[in-house]
């Protein structure tokens, strides 16, 4: 059984690769959920009662949250998002995720990766976390799935904004399941909300609402190495240098 006060636990990486950015936490009561699973509990005494926000492809809704690339840039291999379908079993029903990464606020900045049609979902599996209220830690209606999305792209540092700091990148994922799909927000004990995210209605091309709670996601890959280098040009340069040395020696 967990301690009575619970915990704020960082997200566990699902895919291989170093964690470059973690927009959690999500677990508040490790081992405190149904059958010993982890619980992501909303703090009802602080006014939290919304389990999640819709972002199904069929509905046209998208979620958006920001992150900042540090150092000389990131080679991003995967991004893991978290979502649930109310009433599902622990077998994931999520079968499609597409996303765009924006340089700046979506609809204002420019798109640096992704589109609205390509299914980039590599895997979707039960995360061993249930989305619950703190008044019902044993609830099993909302098993949270970890959705690993393939990115395989390099993102350099964003241009410096008016604040003198790098501007934020924004993720805008949307998913499909056999029924409505919901994005759960972060969960922390003794805190009403942390960060913020936006919900976007695609047909209208505008944000529906700004919500005072961040979306949990994990960016993985390789940081600080710059874009992937192609080896073939390097081999060619080495061959040219060897030929030049042979010509010099033959003179």
Domain borders along the chain are: 18-250
SS3 for 235? helix
Largest CA distance in the chain: 87
Residue 19 sits at φ, ψ, to 5 deg, of -80, 115
Of 101, 56, 103, 50, nearest to 202 by C-alpha is 56
DSSP classification of residue 33: S
Residue 100 sits at φ, ψ, to 5 deg, of -130, 145
DSSP classification of residue 212: S
Ranges in the chain, pLDDT < 50 = 1-8, 162-166, 178-179, 193-195, 197, 203-204, 207, 230-232
Residue 250 sits at φ, ψ, to 5 deg, of -80, -15
Give the ranges where the chain is alpha helix by DSSP (H).
Answer: 231-250
What's CA 139's distance to the chain center, in Å? 25
pLDDT at 237 (0 to 100): 56
DSSP classification of residue 160: B
pLDDT at 46 (0 to 100): 84
Question: Does residue 221 contact residue 18 with C-beta atoms inside 8 Å?
Answer: yes
pLDDT at 122 (0 to 100): 95
**Which residues face 119 on adjacent strands?**
none
SS3 for 241? helix
Angle at 138 between CA 136 and CA 144, to 5 degrees: 100
pLDDT at 154 (0 to 100): 93
Encoded tokens for 203: 């047909």
Encoded tokens for 191: 């805190």
Q: Give residue-wise pLDDT tens across range 18-41.
A: 899 888 788 999 999 999 999 999
Residue 45 sits at φ, ψ, to 5 deg, of -65, -20
pLDDT at 3 (0 to 100): 36
């Amino acid at each position: 059984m967990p301690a009575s006060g619970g915990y704020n636990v960082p997200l566990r990486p699902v895919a291989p690769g170093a964690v470059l950015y973690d927009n959690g936490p999500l677990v508040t009561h490790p081992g405190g959920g149904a059958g010993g699973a982890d619980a992501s509990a909303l703090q009802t005494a602080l006014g939290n009662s919304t389990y999640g926000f819709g972002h199904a492809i069929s509905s046209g809704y998208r979620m958006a949250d920001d992150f900042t690339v540090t150092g000389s840039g990131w080679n991003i291999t995967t991004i893991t998002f978290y979502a649930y379908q109310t009433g599902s079993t622990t077998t994931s029903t999520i079968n499609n995720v597409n996303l765009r990464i924006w340089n700046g606020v979506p609809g204002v900045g420019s798109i640096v990766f992704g589109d609205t049609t390509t299914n980039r979902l590599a895997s979707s599996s039960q995360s061993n976390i249930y989305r619950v209220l703190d008044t019902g830690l044993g609830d099993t209606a909302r098993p949270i799935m970890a959705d690993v999305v393939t990115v395989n792209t390099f993102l350099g540092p964003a241009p410096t904004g008016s604040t003198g700091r790098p501007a934020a990148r924004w993720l805008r994922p949307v998913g499909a399941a056999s029924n409505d799909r919901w994005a759960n927000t972060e969960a922390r004990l003794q805190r009403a909300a942390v960060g913020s995210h936006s919900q976007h209605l695609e047909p209208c091309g505008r944000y529906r609402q700004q919500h005072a709670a961040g979306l949990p996601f994990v960016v993985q890959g390789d940081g600080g190495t710059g874009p992937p280098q192609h080896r073939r040009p390097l081999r060619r340069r080495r061959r040219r240098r060897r030929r030049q040395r042979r010509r010099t020696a033959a003179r």
